[in-house]
Amino acid sequence: MKDKELRRYSRVVVDGDEQAPSRAMLRAVGFSEDDFARPQIGIASTWAMTTPCNMHINQLAEEAAQGANSAGAKAVVFNTISVSDGISMGTPGMRYSLVSREIIADSIEAVVGAEGFDGLVAIGGCDKNMPGCVMAMARLNRPAVFVYGGTIKPGAKRRDIVSVFEAVGAHSSGKISDSELLEVERTAIPGPGACGGMYTANTMASAIEALGMSLGNSSAQEAVSDQKVDDCRRAGEAVLYLLKNDIKPLDIMTRKAFENAIAVVIALGGSTNAVLHLIAMAREAGVPLTLDDFTRIGSRTPVLADLKPSGKYLMSELIAIGGIQPLMKRMLDRQLLHGDCMTVTGKTLAENLADVVDYAPGQDVIRDFDNPIKADSHLSILYGNVAPEGAVAKITGKEGLRFEGPAKVFHSEETALQAILNDEVGKGDVVVIRYEGPKGAPGMREMLSPTGAIMGKGLGAAVALITDGRFSGGSHGFVVGHISPEAALGGPIALIQDGDTLVIDAEKRQVDVNVTADEMRRRREQWRRPVSAVRGGALAKYRFEVSSASEGAVTIPPDWDQ
């Protein structure tokens, strides 16, 4: 492509006498005379000292900028926000977590659109950063590469953040002392990087790599490593290659590519949040993707990775044996992936994987196909009279495949957590946490505090939990989330009462309450939506615009023509 074509957007900002004011401003931020003739690459950094997941990303952004500059572009680093799920978990602040995904996508779109960048590198380190970055890339459709900030190193005794949440439950049961709880707290998080199991951050990083929007093994590098520095530099270089060859995100983010992402998430035993985020990303890319696609792909895809939270190993231990690329090569050889999908390398997935070496003999992090953790997906899409529009369960089989018990109903996460810690929830109960959906919270909080407390008390196999909220990737046990329609819309979950018998059946893919249709109609007539304390600001705007969890909990602007 010619120079002017490479500068499709930036030349509008910097070329011509009438743009002298723009050039004057850019000179002040470090542009030289020659820089005005180069393509401009925006480097979106999610750096913040609000979370260890992102505290190192400013350095990674500079490495990506150097890569772009060395390839002949002019890189410009800018920031977007990041909030910490781990810090806000179990508090009202967690309502802002999913909202931040939309804010991140909006802010990257705004900066790239306003500044006229010709391409984009986005670096994300925490759960919502990653889908937010990719959603912006799809909207802008300018050559772009996503870089994962990398996973955290294990804490002492292979601890991570979930160890702390579960220690809280163990402490309340008297299983560990005050000093033992403090020791776990002090040693679980040793430095920069995203949470260390196959939780949402590592799940989404793997999904984005499988989607084709990251360079090979970007998802399988520690945050503090030479490999991650190299990944950032190569990403900066790769954007210029994409620019010269006119390869854009929507050339990569096809339906087949999303099917690849779903398959890899399942093989890794990834987070339920992947369902929410992949549907949201697909919507921005104009790709039809529904809950039922997860069922269809899951029926042929086994769980092969023995990774936390349900399994044994941390992401660092998967990195040590070669990361996810050998797994993807195995899946491709079994025709579980579409090899003809374009990627940010400018090559197809099959071409990228052609020379990948298999795992060394003796490792047991990734199982063979004849010895899977589970023969089909752990992500079960459930329907039934509790969830007529769908729900998402994470059931590996270790919890069993069916649970029946009386409902213990709570109108918020906080009241449920206190009941669990106070031993008001016992074996056989089904905890129901409602009014925590996208509109109800608003913001669809994660339920790691209650699920962590249940596991810490040793009730993981004896108590089930259902919610119209969602779960951290660190949650495990017999849990069902994303129940739609949510309680705030008068969905059936709003009508469940204490003592009602609930049945969760993973094999039949149903979640039902044993109450007659007539009785449910009577309850609906008497139901009144609780008054929300949220009256304005970002949360109120989100509540007004957000769609159902079954549609990705995306914000849908009103149609101007209607």
**Catalytic residue set:** 472
Would you state the structure tokens that stand for residue 465, as one six-digit string?
């939990």
Would you state the structure tokens that stand for residue 548, as one six-digit string?
């159902």
Distances in Å between the alpha carbon of 226 and those of 47, 51, 63, 232, 233? 19, 22, 11, 10, 11
Would you state the structure tokens that stand for residue 52, as one six-digit string?
């260890």
Q: Report the C-alpha gap between 423 and 152 in whole angstroms.
A: 34
* SS3 category, 182: helix
Sorted by sequence, the CB contacts under 8 Å of residue 331 that are 6+ apart come out as 263, 264, 267, 301, 337
* DSSP 8-class letter at 404: E
Nearest C-alpha neighbor of 421 from the set 184, 148, 90, 200: 90
Total residue length of the chain: 562
By the 10 Å C-beta count (0-12 exposed, 13-18 middle, 19+ buried), 499 is classed as: exposed
Q: Report the C-alpha gap between 68 and 163 in whole angstroms.
A: 39
- What is the phi-psi region of residue 255: left when phi exceeds 0, alpha when psi lies from -120 to 50, beta otherwise? alpha
Q: Report the C-alpha gap between 549 and 273 in whole angstroms.
A: 10
Would you state the structure tokens that stand for residue 508, as one six-digit string?
């039949």
Residue type, position 561, single letter: D
In whole angstroms, how large is the CA radius of gyration of the chain? 23
Nearest C-alpha neighbor of 533 from the set 443, 406, 425, 407: 443
Q: Which residue has the tokens 């987070």?
A: 271
Q: Report the C-alpha gap between 185 and 164 in whole angstroms.
A: 6
